[in-house]
Chains A and B, each alone.
Chain A
């Protein structure tokens, strides 16, 4: 028995030891719940929303958006001013004199050259490398470097070395300086030349991947891989205390899947704009736990609520029983994709190759029914792809309504009508319409939508449907290889221009999962790209969207996404400051939130406001009184 007790004792001692060795941080002024851990803090490699939100708080690009303004205007950030040449090709930015890195060194134009070059280099493996390809010579530079690395890989092992790889990179740098349109003409002047005029270039420049990284820091953590010749970045450069940033905050602690802790960057030029001194960001994967964590006061803002009972929370809000849930419409659209290729992956003829069939299937879907009775969380039904009202100067087309009669007629015009009276339409050779396979990823609401939509198609078009639920990775693999008939999809725009949506229909676009190819539409996008008059350009894009949404329908838009936040309202029912409430959330559909803009209403502030109100109240009573 003593020995058993000894075993238990050892267990306890080990436990105590590990518990003691763990440390905790003081509570931050602002605590935010994210749905998952950051994928990367390296701005050039970012592509997830939560990563980009962090980029806007710890880095500062040349320009940023005014996320509180109606038109999401571009305002100066690290650059205090800029000029654009008359032909719209050359942008000259002047960097702020007092723009500083968190180590106190000045932010120089060269830092942007270095960072943007990183974004173009294949070595960086940036998801958004394509955004840099608008810059003159960038695309050739990428090809040059890819060829360089391929040639290096062919070398005999004895000739490969880190030195050789470094020398190769120096050659690439020389090529870059001679050919790519990003140049620092002095410490504070950055000149950018574009391949062709891009109306939304400043909007792109405000995007997180254009943020600067500190060149000295990045260089000190890189090695040249002698086997591949590539630059390899040690993952440790993004960890505090090494990390140097130029934004409002600087990370002081990052523990994997525990928290990211930010502190005010003492060298940031615009201190007044930064509301909270410290910010803690905690990742909570489980949707239910993240709601409970908010409810028990662990956080001030839950930035992504996905609990299955969101609809009930919204109902409670409508009934006036719960006011912490907030739904915002976003710059994104939930849709279902039609496979537009002539043949299905199994070699059968694809009925959805015919635009009339796609129109029929779109007309047969009652989207109001889906949003009101299936999803139930306040989304706006969608007839178009580009979310209405999100881009200034862009007018959406009508899109196709819910019209079962017309749907049937469209299907018949495509040659599919019920010839043998069994209820299922057949084509002219008597082959019945193939069972419509609906591909979706499991573990979310997509199955419910598929079920409801399938029923609508069965009812209004007489076709048969089958649900094909697959695990996310498999679903995505099938989608990317056009192994589907119809499949669920979704898209969030990246920048304030319709092309961020319309490019998806371009032949061969990396995100054109539908295999849709229409040379005339490609030509229209080309014409719009070449058009220098902004209004004429918008008119072309409007025509493109109309064409896709009224006639071609490579996708079936279902609703415009909502985003759900949990935070206590900054003012209570009486309009008084609400202690614990959160101020500074942007409601613009682009839904860019700047953490430095957010501020929790303190008890003192609420108290002061109550006293002031009490004073005015009694003062006014005095006036009315005698």
Chain B
């Protein structure tokens, strides 16, 4: 287990470097100027030239190495060794945001990530509860009306885009029933609707995974043995079959959690939530180079970490796995 963790942690920086390089070339090749506003007046060309020099926007190679120097913490270490630590406020410095001039990318991600994590955790929790319950019901009574009903709901959950379900829920709860809030973040009631909307596709997938797993397990020899021994149905399902049927769900949960936690552009836009998701899209549309790099690297890092966490959990739930 320790070996696995160490191996993965050594891989992490290599993966990140590859991702940084690819993202850098893609982002750099985006058309348009990174420092020019989308609307309004264009600053004096002399001033534009200054800012482009400042961030090495006029020199691809220089930009690549300068930024690498900042995000790896090398610059921080060097400046601190030289006794100029106050010039480097962050160990891993993602740089400024071009669009939101009063914030740097570290602050933006620092603000947005916890929001997305809460929303994602909430959504995954709801998805697991709904999905596993529906999957078990479907598996215990295959092809019954309950099974067909959960299948139908799961299909709707996967197929309906979240801007439709989100908007419908917004109109149904806060507007018509006067329950919950339309926009905002902070109160527990702000979390429920978006988390539920975000959970639907995950819940649907988990329901199908659980159902398939459960049907397999319920037909297996050890379940038949348990039943022959007179173990109660409830105990067979909860104690024996579900435990094994949950494994595929667990392996799905790794990437699913990472995806849910790094934010959803649509959900965050519809519910006006200050999370990570909108930054992915906004940053690309406004060619906010540092922002693109920052959010991509954080997302990649989280993806790797979550896969590691799931692998560890996997072994913990099922010690047979090596």
B170 near A289: Cβ-Cβ < 8 Å = yes
In the complex the two chains form, is A223's CB within 8 Å of B272's CB? no
Interface positions of B from 98 to 144, Cβ below 8 Å from A: 99-104, 107-108, 111-112, 114, 117-118, 121-122, 124-125, 128-129
Stretch from B17-25, B35-43, B154-162 at the A interface: B35-43
A130 close to B114 (CB less than 8 A): no
Cβ of B46 within 8 Å of any chain A Cβ, yes or no, is yes
Q: Which of B237-277 contact A (CB under 8 A)?
A: 238-239, 242-243, 246, 269-272, 274
Could you say which residues of chain B place their CB within 8 Å of the CB of A290? Answer: 183, 272
Bound Cα distance A553, B79 (Å):
57
Shortest CB-to-CB span from B273 to chain A, Å, is 9
Task: Check A257–B38 contact: CB distance below 8 A.
Answer: no
Cross-chain contact of B121 among A11, A123, A225 (Cβ < 8 A): A11
A295 within 8 A of B: yes
Question: Is residue B175 contacting chain A, with contact meaning CB distance below 8 A?
Answer: yes
CB distance from A16 to the nearest CB of B (A): 9
Residues of A within 8 Å of B89, CB to CB, are 234
Distance A289 CA – B170 CA, assembled complex (angstroms): 8
Q: Is B307 an interface residue when CB atoms closer than 8 A count as contact?
A: no
Known: A1-B238, A223-B87. A47 touches B188 (CB 8 A): no
Q: Considering the complex, which residues of chain A in the window 125-147 have a beta carbon less than 8 Å from any beta carbon of chain B?
A: 125-130, 142-143, 146
Over the window 465-490 of chain A, the binary record of Cβ atoms lying under 8 Å from chain B Cβ atoms (1 yes, 0 no) is: 00000011110110010000000000
Is A149's CB within 8 Å of the partner chain B? yes
Q: Are A256 and B54 in contact (CB under 8 A)?
A: no
Instruction: Give which listed residue, B47, B167, B182, B274, contacts A257 with CB less than 8 A.
Output: B274
Interface residue? A122 (CB, 8 A)? yes
User: Does B224 have its Cβ within 8 Å of any Cβ on chain A?
Assistant: no
- Which residues does chain A contribute within 8 Å of B107, judged by CB atoms? 235, 256
List CB contacts (< 8 Å) of A205-240 with chain B: 223, 225-226, 228, 230, 234-235, 238-239
- Residues on A with C-beta less than 8 A from B37 are 39, 47-48, 127
A474 in contact with B32 (CB, 8 Å): yes
A228→B46 CA distance, assembly (Å): 15
Q: Is residue A286 contacting chain B, with contact meaning CB distance below 8 A? A: yes
Known contacts A38-B102, A146-B50, A293 near B183 by CB under 8 Å:
yes
In the complex, the answer to whether A282 meets B183 with C-beta atoms within 8 Å is yes
* A444: interface (CB < 8 Å): no
Among B40, B102, B243, contact of A127 (Cβ-Cβ < 8 Å): B40
Interface string of B299-322 (1 = CB under 8 A from A): 000000000000001001100000
Asked whether A18 lies within 8 Å of B117 as measured between CB atoms, the reply is yes
**Cross-chain pair count, CB within 8 angstroms:** 195
Could you tell me the distance in whole angstroms from the C-beta of A116 to the nearest C-beta in chain B?
16
Q: Is B96 an interface position by the 8 A CB rule?
A: yes
CB distance from A450 to the nearest CB of B (A): 19
Q: Which of B43, B50, B183, B278 contacts A298 (CB 8 A)?
A: B183
Instruction: Please state if A122 and B50 are interface contacts (CB–CB under 8 Å).
Output: yes
Q: Using Cβ atoms and an 8 Å threshold, which residues of chain B touch A306?
A: none
Query: Inside 8 A of B99's CB, which chain A residues have their CB?
Result: 39
User: Which chain A residues border B40 with CB–CB below 8 Å?
Assistant: 47-48, 127
Interface pair B47/A129, CB less than 8 Å apart: yes
| Chain A nearest Cβ from B85, distance in angstroms | 12
Q: Contact check: which of B47, B122, B187, B269 meets A286 at CB < 8 Å? A: B269
**Quick one: given A125-B51, A292-B175, are A255 and B274 in contact (CB under 8 Å)?**
yes
B59 within 8 A of A: no
Q: Are B46 and A146 in contact (CB under 8 A)?
A: yes
Return the chain B residue nearest A4 by Cβ: B246
- B121 contact set on A, CB distance < 8 A: 11, 14-15
* Interface flag for A45 (CB, 8 Å): yes
Contact B100 A37 (CB under 8 A): yes
Give Cα distance in the complex from A42 to B41, angstroms.
16
Contact between A19 and B184, CB atoms less than 8 A apart: no
A7 within 8 A of B: yes
**A514-550 interface code vs B (CB 8 A; 1 in, 0 out):** 0000000000000000000000000000000000000
Are A476 and B41 interface neighbours, CB within 8 A? no
Q: How far is B144's CA from A157's CA once the two chains are assembled, in angstroms? A: 78
Contacts of B38 in A (CB 8 A): 472-473, 476
- B33 CB within 8 Å of chain A: yes
Say whether B39 contacts A127, CB under 8 Å: no
Tell me if B44 counts as interface (CB < 8 A to partner A): yes
Q: Which residues of B contact A123 (CB under 8 A)?
A: 50
Contact A292 B171 (CB under 8 A): yes
Do A473 and B174 touch (CB < 8 A)?
A: no
Q: Does B51 contact A228, Cβ atoms closer than 8 Å? A: no
Residues on A with beta carbons closer than 8 Å to the beta carbon of B316: 3
A473 and B31 within 8 A (CB): yes
Q: Is B53 at the interface (CB under 8 A from chain A)?
A: yes
Residues from chain B with a CB closer than 8 A to the CB of A295 are 175
Decide yes or no whether B45 CB sits under 8 A from chain A: yes
Interchain CB contact under 8 A, A15 and B122 = yes
Q: B285 an interface residue at 8 Å Cβ cutoff?
A: yes
- Cα distance, A188 to B37, chains bound together (Å): 36
Contact A286 B239 (CB under 8 A): no
- CA gap between A282 and B33 in the complex, in Å: 28
**A274, CB-defined interface residue at 8 Å:** no
Partner of B270 from the list A24, A289, A296 (CB cut-off 8 Å) is: A289
Across the interface, do A22 and B33 meet the contact criterion of CB distance under 8 Å? Answer: no
A235 touches B191 (CB 8 A): no
Are the CB atoms of B33 and A477 closer together than 8 Å? yes
Q: Does A510 contact B (CB under 8 A)?
A: yes
- Measured CB to CB, the closest approach of chain A to B256, in angstroms, equals 12
Most chain B CB within a 10 A radius of its CB, from A226, A239, A288:
A288
Check B44 against A130 for contact (C-beta < 8 Å). Answer: yes
Contact bitstring A7-32, B, C-beta under 8 A = 1, else 0: 11001101100110011100000000
Check A256–B317 contact: CB distance below 8 A.
Answer: no
- Write the A442-460 contact mask toward B (1 if CB under 8 angstroms, else 0): 0000000000000000000
Residues of A within 8 Å of B54, CB to CB, are: 225, 228, 230
Find out whether the CB atom of A476 lies under 8 angstroms from the CB atom of B32. yes
Known: A230-B50, A473-B31. A292 touches B170 (CB 8 A): yes
Residue among B35, B41, B86, B181 with most chain A CB within 10 A: B41
Cross-chain contact B42 with A235 (CB below 8 angstroms): no
Q: Report how far A5 CA is from B16 CA in the complex, Å.
A: 33
Inter-chain contacts of B41 with A (CB < 8 A): 47, 127-128, 130, 494, 510-511
Q: Which residues of A contact B124 (CB under 8 A)?
A: 11
* Chain A hits for B114, CB < 8 A: 18
In the complex, A566 has a CB within 8 A of chain B: no
In the complex, what residues of B have CB within 8 A of residue A126's CB?
Answer: 43, 47
Asked if A89 CB lies within 8 Å of chain B CBs, one says no
A400 on the B face (CB < 8 A): no
A238:B274 contact, CB within 8 angstroms: no
* CB of B84, distance to nearest CB on chain A (Å): 8
Tell me whether B61 is interfacial, beta carbon within 8 Å: no
The answer to whether A258 and B185 touch across the interface, beta carbons within 8 angstroms, is: yes
The answer to whether B31 touches A48 (Cβ under 8 A) is: no
Check B211 for interface membership: any CB of A closer than 8 A.
no
User: From residue A95, how far is it (CB to closest CB) to chain B in Å?
Assistant: 27
Provide a sorted-by-A list of 26 A–B residue pairs whose CB atoms are within 8 angstroms. A1-B239, A4-B243, A8-B125, A15-B121, A15-B122, A19-B188, A22-B185, A48-B39, A122-B47, A122-B50, A127-B42, A129-B43, A142-B44, A143-B46, A146-B46, A230-B50, A234-B89, A256-B112, A257-B112, A258-B184, A290-B272, A298-B181, A472-B285, A473-B31, A476-B32, A477-B32
A residues at B contact (CB < 8 Å): 1, 3-4, 7-8, 11-12, 14-15, 18-19, 22-24, 37-42, 45, 47-48, 122-123, 125-130, 142-143, 146, 149, 153, 162, 223, 225-226, 228, 230, 234-235, 238-239, 255-258, 282-286, 288-290, 292-293, 295-296, 298, 471-474, 476-477, 480, 494, 510-511
Can you name 11 extra interface pairs (CB under 8 A) apart from A125-B50, A153-B53, A285-B269? A18-B117, A22-B185, A38-B102, A127-B43, A129-B47, A143-B46, A257-B112, A257-B274, A289-B183, A293-B272, A510-B45
A-B interface, 10 closest residue pairs, ranked by CB to CB distance from nearest: A257-B274, A473-B32, A477-B32, A40-B101, A47-B40, A510-B42, A293-B182, A293-B183, A24-B186, A284-B272
